[in-house]
Amino acid sequence: MPTNEVKYIYDPFFRASNTSRFEGYGIGMPLTRNIMRMHRGSIEVISAENQGTTIKVFLPLASRQT
């Protein structure tokens, strides 16, 4: 993904300029971010142009209620 486009990945319907050979509508990351917020999780995005993009999803451990 081009470096200058990473900041747009949470915009609904955004698709990076180098994704034309992949199917999709650009709703996955905005939807994922909303779900993560609801569960008090977070997302980390690491992208290097022409090398790939890594998405890490973090969810908190549930506290046990007795």
**Residue ranges of the alpha helices (H) in the chain?**
28-38
Predicted TM-score (pTM) of the model is 0.77
Q: DSSP letter at 9? A: T
Is residue 64 pLDDT above 70, yes or no? Answer: no
- The tokens describing 2, both together, are 């081009």
Which among 49, 1, 24 has a CA at the least distance from the CA of 32?
24
Question: What tens digit of pLDDT does each residue of 1-58 get?
Answer: 888 999 999 999 999 998 889 899 999 999 999 999 999 999 999 999 889 899 999 9
pLDDT at position 62 is: 76
Listed in sequence order, the residues at least 6 apart from 30 whose beta carbon sits closer than 8 Å to its beta carbon are 10, 11, 12
Burial of 26 (0-12, 13-18, 19+ CB in 10 A): middle
